[in-house]
Amino acid sequence: MKQYESVFILKPDLDKTGVDKILGQIQELVTKHKGAIADTKEIGKNRLAYPLKKNKEGIYYRISFSVIPEAISAIKKNLVLNESILRMFITKL
């Protein structure tokens, strides 16, 4: 398994239960592909450089996890469909 790090920008109007639901979906996707989440950190709510889907702010999260490289494309496909995620990217550590 390889180590990855992902940064997510979530909609600013999400409450704590909405954020927890999205983080649970991410953890479920990683564990479904026999991976493990090492760390989840909330960076906070910040102003965006330009509007994304008519939002001027976003809630930033950083997640570190390990998973097999073949699973990254499947994880990306599932997370792109979530309308509460404004942007995301995954990088290999």
Element containing residue 73 per DSSP (H, E)? helix 72-80
What pLDDT digit, counting tens, does each position of 29-80 carry? 999 999 999 999 999 999 999 999 999 999 999 999 999 999 999 999 998 9
Phi, psi for residue 77 in degrees, rounded to 5: -60, -45
Pairing type for strands 85-92 and 36-52 reads: unpaired
* pLDDT value, residue 86: 94
**pTM score, whole prediction:** 0.89
At CA 42, angle to CA 5 and CA 34, rounded to 5? 40
* pLDDT value, residue 20: 94
* pLDDT value, residue 41: 95
Q: Which CATH number fits domain 2-92: 3.40.50.720, 3.40.50.2300, 3.30.70.60, 3.40.1360.10?
A: 3.30.70.60
Band the pLDDT of 9: cuts 50, 70, 90.
very high
Q: List the domain boundaries for the chain.
A: 2-92
